[in-house]
Amino acid sequence: MKNQPFRERLRFALAGLRHAARAEKSVRIQIVVFVLVMVVMALLRPGPAWWGLVLLASAGVLATELVNTAVEHLADHLHPEVHPSIRIVKDCAAAAVFVAVLGAVGVGVALIVHWLLTK
């Protein structure tokens, strides 16, 4: 599996994204929120720096959600029973998503405040 051509690695990544979107409601929610955020961005028409910040924050949330999904699937596969150590791993992965969402919300609030103050 190592040293695959870029096209193959891209295919693997897209397959993972497809699987997560089909299997995980939270990933689907994040994708819908991302689309809505892009619509709002198109309406507000902020500057390039704001586009960069919002896209980076959105990508961070989705990437963290995908890692959380991977950790949960692996943990459930390796140890299907509830185990205190596995619970901690899964809780920490979920907390990472929560922190990423808080950061993205912070960017959104800053953008709205900026937009209101410049109008």
| Statement: residue 52 has pLDDT above 90 | yes
Within 8 A by CB and 6+ apart from 70, the residues are 16
Task: Note the pLDDT of residue 70.
Answer: 96
| Cα–Cα distance for residue pair 9/71, rounded to 1 Å | 20
What is the token pair recorded at 49?
Answer: 């720096």
Domains and CATH numbers, the chain: 6-118 (1.10.287.3610)
Q: How far apart are CA 91 and CA 82, in angstroms?
A: 12
pLDDT at 5 over 80: yes
Residue/partner pairs of 54-57 with CB below 8 Å, 24 or more apart: 54/107, 54/108, 54/111, 57/100, 57/103, 57/104, 57/107, 57/108
> What's the average model confidence in pLDDT over 92-107?
98
**Mind listing the pLDDT tens digit for each residue in 10-27?**
999 999 999 999 999 999
Q: Mean pLDDT score of the chain, rounded to an integer? A: 95
CA-based nearest residue to 27, from 65, 54, 58, 74: 65
pLDDT band at 92 (very low <50, low <70, confident <90, very high): very high
pLDDT (average), residues 55-64: 97
| pTM (predicted TM-score) | 0.89
